[in-house]
Structure 1
Amino acid sequence: MEEQEVVPVNEEQLKYEALKKSANRTSNWRERLQAVEELGQLDHDQVADVLKARAQNDSVFPIREAAYRQLQKMGVSVPQPKRQEGDLVKGITKLLVRIKKSLPRDHSYEDFKAKLQKMRVDVYDTYEGDKGDEFDTWLEQKWASLRT
């Protein structure tokens, strides 16, 4: 019987792969934010690439900021992210009108909010992450202003 060679598991690589996956999960801004923070603590060649992608392309401003800070700590020079002007999701008003129309005429704001979260968790997550404490106020104002 031949002896099989045991290949050691590189825990740092496994952790990197898991964090990279979390950093790219579009429907969970909290998980992406935590992954960005943890990636900055790893000693891995490809961490900077993942953080650059988040700093430049994430739809949620606090994640872009966190990735920028981690890159700065690593000595990687990237432009400081700016808060996006206008709609974060193309066609957001049209999407929200469609959701509002799908509900009974006498629905509440809470009904609308729940349906948005159920139907488009990615959109809900993007705005919740970007707006922070102002999310409910923003969404309720949007809901009240929608014409159906």
Structure 2
Amino acid sequence: MGNNTIKTELPENYEELKKAANRTASWKSRYDAVVELGKYNHSQVKDILRTRLANDPVYKVQEAAFQSLLDFGEEAQLPKRKKFELVKGANKVFVRVKKSLPKDHTFEEFLTKLKRMRIDVYDTYEGDKGDEFKTWLENEWSNLK
């Protein structure tokens, strides 16, 4: 029995996976949970996957949910990738974090404070931007008024 075998019962750690799939502060936890849940073709699992597909701010998580639903033979549509504001009001969050710091603060200080104040925003953009994240955020930060 290979790893790609799809089972029809709920996984033993279903409650744990369900929590992880909805963890706003960690796109990696959501992604890993979606991948693991993708091995179980069960109506409760499909509900979680549909929610992640429709609502996850990180496209990689949406793609994983989409692929699992297709693997189950379900009809599903991958939403268009959001280009700009992944989290509603994110720019206001960046401005608020910047204004909460001394005028001469460094980008690293901004990064640390953003992570502390709004881990959900930090995490979503980190998940979306991948390796480009810090470069992208530093550019955003330097353009904030």
Q: Is the TM value for this pair above 0.5? A: yes
Q: Conserved in 1, the CA contact under 8 Å of 2:41 and 2:72?
A: no
Show CA shifts across 1:32-76 (max 9, x none). 000000001124331111101101110110000010011111111
Q: Conserved in 1, the CA contact under 8 Å of 2:10 and 2:45?
A: no
User: Sequence identity of aligned pairs in percent?
Assistant: 54
Equivalents in 2 of 1:77, 1:58: separation in Å? 18
**TM-score between both structures, scaled by the size of structure 1:** 0.87
The residue that corresponds to 1:105 in the other structure is 103
Q: Conserved in 2, the CA contact under 8 Å of 1:16 and 1:44?
A: no
**TM-score between both structures, scaled by the size of structure 2:** 0.88
Is 1:120 paired with 2:118?
yes
Is 1:134 paired with 2:136?
no
Letter aligned with residue 32 of structure 1: R
Candidates 24, 49, 54, aligned match of 2:47:
49
Show CA shifts across 1:63-117 (max 9, x none). 0001001111111111123211321122222221111111111111011001000
Quote how far apart the aligned CAs of 1:12 are.
Answer: 4.3
Question: Where do 5+ consecutive residues of structure 1 fail to align?
Answer: 1-10
CA RMSD of aligned residues (A): 1.5
1:16-35, aligned counterparts within 5 Å? 16-35=14-33
Quote how far apart the aligned CAs of 1:13 are.
Answer: 5.2
Number of residue pairs the alignment of both structures matches: 137
Equivalents in 2 of 1:13, 1:63: separation in Å? 19
Greater Cα radius of gyration, structure 1 or 2: 1
